Structure 1
Amino acid sequence: MDFGFGTAEREFRASARDWLAGHLVGPYADAVGLGGPGSEHQGVAARRAWERELGRGGWIGLGWEAEPGAYGQQRASLTGQVVWAEEYARVRAPGRVGHIGENLLAPTLLAYGSREQRDRLLPGIARGEELWCQGYSEPGAGSDLAGIRTTAVRETAAGRTGHRVTGQKIWTSLARDADWCFVLARTEPGSRRHQGLSFLLVRMDQPGRVEVRPIRQMSGTSEFNEVFFDGALAEEVVGGEGNGWTVAMGLLALERGVSTLVQQIGFAAELEQVVADHLRAGGAGGAGGGAADPVLRDRLVRAWAELRTMRWNALRTLGGTGDPGAPSVAKLLWGGWHRRLGELAVAVRGAGAAAGVRDWAPGEPYEEGLDEAQRLFLFTRADTIYGGSDEIQRNIIAERVLGLPKEPRRFS
């Protein structure tokens, strides 16, 4: 696929720049740079309002190829979507609170959902009015997703069939602000592993039925949450009862593949900041006056080259390679790279990175004692674990791509 930017893309870029410049004003200007991985606690109210502003402008759902423009959104080619992501990152627009609905749930509905489900649920996402979270991982069933124990029992009330969901999910991003959660649950009693699972849609506003508990991380923030379901009503099944594994794997391919391109634009901004910190500290003859550290310089150059490689790999994935290992390769690449960047962020500042933590008093949020480099270091320690650990990704590549024998497994 040709990813060159021609006249159409240049015109679309100009349109995107003009819209962002004209709308990132007032309270939205105050939210510039807020939010995103490691900082989801920042400016939530303003970012939620910004999501609705994006919806009014038709900027949500550009990549819904199955039904372009059907829900009021603008139409954009794949290269146009890349252009929008680049411009959005360039102006450091607020971190998206609706990306799980737009980039994960919506394409899944387009692939596996019914017409009725799409017409009922996609407009709220396109308008930026309804936010979603993902209910997959459980204690003891994270990377080994097939080991989930959350159950759902079918019931019919007032002439309508639904499911009552009982169980616990963990590491659930944005759960405190979400209106809906898509939940993988076991709907066939006695089923094991990949069998008997269903992909259910649950409203979060069910007092006494759904409880969200923030998980405090070592960075001091609470990006993730535990979610407890106690007979919560699931109003929809996507893809048919018992077909949850197929739907869930289709969604994970989206999470671990194409969407990483936008993520990498944010990575580039973080790398630029690390390079600037290195120069201020005296690296490469910078203002700090110290001697250049050839080892750090080499690590920075390597980080830049690896980021460029990840970009081209993501563009190749957008072009439709058909490679079943592409999502796992992408996850391995960005997870390890980002963790190493966190290590670089503190390494370029030397011992001062550890000594520079401001005084922290009991009762204050932990993050008040950390600067951006320190938060980046702490948060990125999890990058090779969440979203599918490195070990699991390597197993997928070995077994499904290289055809190597499966690793012996024991299940209770």
Structure 2
Amino acid sequence: MTHDAVHHTGTQAAEHGGGPSAHRLTTREAAERLGVKPETVYAYVSRGQLASRRTPGGRGSTFDATEVDALARRTGRREPPPPPAGDLVFRTALTLIEPDRYYFRGVDATELARHHGYEVVAEWIWTGELRPETRFTASAESLAAARLTAASLPRHSSSTDRLRAAVAAAAASDPLRFDLSAEGVLISARSLIPTLVGALPAAGASDDVGEGDGSLAARLWPKLSARPADAASLTVLDTALALLADHDLAASTLAARVAASTHAHPYAVVSAGLGVLEGPLHGAASGPAHRMLSEVVDRGGAAPVVADHLRAGRRVPGLGHRLYTGEDPRATALFALLDEMPQAAPAMEAARDVVATTARHAPLHANVDLALAVFSVACGLPVQTGETVFAVSRTAGWIAHAMEEYAERPLRMRPSGQYVGPRPPRPLPAPSAPDATAL
């Protein structure tokens, strides 16, 4: 894959960094003027505080001197003090979570998702710039390799299996994947996300949306359903993608930051996130909620279904969130859209019945997994829909956190284990006797 052919922002630096005659600084020179490390310069780029331009024919970046000087005046040319030795601190400018809402770079995330699609929200998280016409495009080499690899898996493979395989194939096809500059990472990310969608098999006979046509949600829909998407369903899907793009240091994001702290390339970072996301208590949590809602609809009420879960010692899926005191704001935003869809009425009624029935014993509120389940049940989508949407969407957040981590001290996440085994020294153990039943 060649980075130059991937994205629409090839002239972005010229638009922000002055004309061709503007005085340009190297990364080292910009760092000296700002009084920071070179890694921090790229952190300023990822936060939208500084624009960069790729050096013609080279792998470095240059910066407009006037813009660097203006940033130096605003920041006082002082880098934040490093955390005390051994103290693990995650400084992030991406997502703030409060008891009843959350924000992307200081802007209410639900409002962003209500007014803008997934690609625009991802760009905002990455760069701090709002670009309403943003569309992501996969490179031909990356997409071909990812499709071939994902298609080689057994038919029963899950969507997350295929996404993990697609990431590995896309990485192998990108010789510039080790470019960890902010601009290089973003070019890879803008190609990787549509590559993941394109590598998934079509739900019907064929995809009816080309890889470069329409929004990412429009390209994802044929992977989930064999029927054409109506406008309302597509709006819910696009909004769900935007809402799930980041959520601070969830388990998969922490894994992504650990990978980034080793300076693993962005594809490896996404692979780390996908590995954790497949856990049933994280990204795959919407599957049980889907099955539960389907059963509630079939049985005509939530009481017997909730009772079965409690009798078996299982938690009721789709309820509760440790970070929110009330209803998950992501669920609230999706429920508002689903209420406008006539075909979602039975699933919405079932979800409300589950919440009301459970509230008699525990004050638990709906979370985003329940909202994703309402969407998938109402639209006749597969059980894995929520997990697929979660994985594709959260790739943007993993990339954003990786960019922040690349600017931190490498390998800073090295906790010490508390050894609880037998105290040394112990004698060399005697070999175990052969198992006669194995002969």
TM-score (norm 2): 0.28
Higher helix share: 2
Higher relative contact order, structure no. (Cα contacts within 8 Å, ≥ 6 residues apart):
2
Q: TM-score, normalised by structure 1?
A: 0.29
Higher strand share: 1
